Structure 1
Amino acid sequence: MSSGLIFILGGAASGKSEFAEALALESGLSAHYLATGEALDEEMRHKVKAHRARRGAEWITHEAPLDPAPVLAALDHDCVCLFDCATFWLSNQLMRDGDLAAAEARLLDALTDCPARVIVVSNEVGQGIVPADALSRRFREAQGRLNIALAARAGLVVQVVAGLPNVLKGALP
C-alpha cells in the first residue's frame, strides 16, 4: 500500500473530479494533471476544454492515454498528481486490444513507485445492469478488478456520490 496514493471513486458526473481537484490544490503542492482521455470527437473536445478551464493555469498538464508510467516516474516528492481517470485509461487499453494484464501491472507499479502524492479518479461501473455485449461486459469486469487493485494500494479511498465525499478507507487530510 502506498500512503501517498489516494483513490477517488464515483459514478459518471458524481463530482469526483471536482473533489479530487480541490483535494490536490489543498495540498499546497505543485499540481500536475495526468490526462488519459482522448479528444476523438466533439463531445470529448468540449469535455477536455471545460476541464482545462475549470482547473485553471496553476495546473501542469500531461497527456498519457496509454502509458502514464514515464510521467509518474518523472514527478518529484513536492508534487501532487491528479490521474484523471483510470476509466479512460482502461478503455484506451481495451480498444487497442493489447496485453491488459501487463499494462495494468505497469500502471499499478508506476502509481505505487511514484514519489509524488497521486490522486487517482475512477468510475464505479458495476452498480448497473449487466451489459448486453461482450466488450462492455469485459470492460465492466476489468474496471471492477482495477478499482479493487487501486483501493488496495491506496491509503485513502473516497467514494463521491452527488458531490458528497464518503471516506471508505483512511482519513481526509
Structure 2
Amino acid sequence: MPVPDRIRAAPRLTLVLGGARSGKSRYAEGLIEAQPSPWRYVATAQAWDDEMAARIAEHRARRPAPWETVDAPRDLASAIREAPAGRPVLVDCLTLWLTNAMLDEAADLAAEVDSLIAACKAVPGPIVLVSNEVGFGIVPENALARRFRDEAGRLHQRLATIADRVVLVVAGLPMTIKGDSE
C-alpha cells in the first residue's frame, strides 16, 4: 500500500521548545494529530501534589481517543523504543523527565541521556519531543537549579543536532529554527 504524502512529509524527529505556558504542548499535539491515528503520548509528569495532578488532568482531557497514553516518568528511552513502528509519538516533556532523573540520586544521568539519544535515533518516527527552554532566565541562586539549567541546555543541544526540525514556541507562535516549516 502506498504511503500517504503527509506521512512521508512528516519529519522523523521534531524537537519543540518553549517556556512555561508558551503553547508548545498544543502545537506538538497538532503536529502529531496531522498524522494518521492512533497516536501515542508518552507522559513524563508525576503528580507530586494537587496542582500537578490538575495539570496532568488538563493535558489528558485534551487527548481523547485515539490517543494512547504511556506513563514514563523515568524509563523514557524504553517507552520510545517500544512504540509500534510507524505510530506517531509525542513525548511531553523532557524537562520533567530530566527533573525526575536528577532527583533520583541513584540515576546515572549521562547514561540515561545517552540511552534517550540512542532511542530517538533508532525509531522510524514520526516522533515529537517537547521540552521547556529554561536558559533564557537569570542564573539560579542554588546549585541544583543551576545544574538542572545546564543539563537541560546540554540535552537540548544534543537533541537539536539529531532532530530533523527544531521549533521554538513563544506566545503560541511557532518559529522553526531548524528544518522545514510546516
Say yes or no: does 1:141 pair with 2:141. no
For residues 96-145 of structure 1, the C-alpha deviation after alignment (integer angstroms, 9 at most, x for no partner) is: 12211001001111111123311000011011110000000000000000
* 1:79 match: secondary structure: coil
Aligned counterpart, 1:93: 101
Q: Distance in 1 between matches of 2:137 and 2:77?
A: 31
Indicate the SS of the match to 1:72. Answer: helix
- Calculate the TM-score normalised by the size of structure 1: 0.95
Deviation at 1:75, TM superposition (A): 1.7
Please say which of residues 11-20 and 71-80 is displaced more in the overlay: 71-80
Correspondence for 2:23 among 15, 19, 27: 15
Shift of 1:20: 0.2
TM superposition score normalised by structure 2: 0.90
Secondary structure in structure 1 of the residue aligned to 2:100: helix
- Checking the alignment, whether the CA contact within 8 Å between 2:14 and 2:127 is kept in structure 1 is yes
Q: Is the 2:76–2:97 contact (alpha carbons within 8 Å) kept by the matching residues of 1?
A: no
Moved over 2 A (4+): none
Offset, 1:55: 1.6
Give the gaps of 5 or more residues in structure 2: 1-10
Q: Does residue 1:83 correspond to 2:100, yes or no? A: no
Cross-structure match for 1:108:
117
Normalized per residue, the structure richer in strand is 1
In structure 1, the residue matched to 2:64 is: 56
Deviations 1:44-72, CA, capped at 9 Å, x for gaps = 10001000001222200000111122222
Q: Which runs of 5+ in 1 are unaligned?
A: none
Q: Contact (CA 8 Å) 1:77, 1:117: kept in 2 or not? A: no
Kept in 1, the 8 Å contact 2:37–2:66? The answer is no
Give the drift of 1:92.
0.4
Does 1:126 pair with 2:135?
yes
Contact 1:93 1:100 in 2 (8 A): yes
Among residues 93, 110, 126, which one is paired with 1:117 in the alignment? 126
1:29 to partner: Cα distance = 4.0
Measured in 1, the distance between the counterparts of 2:33 and 2:88 equals: 8
2:51 is aligned to: 43
Number of paired residues? 171
For the aligned residue pairs, the C-alpha RMSD in angstroms reads 1.1
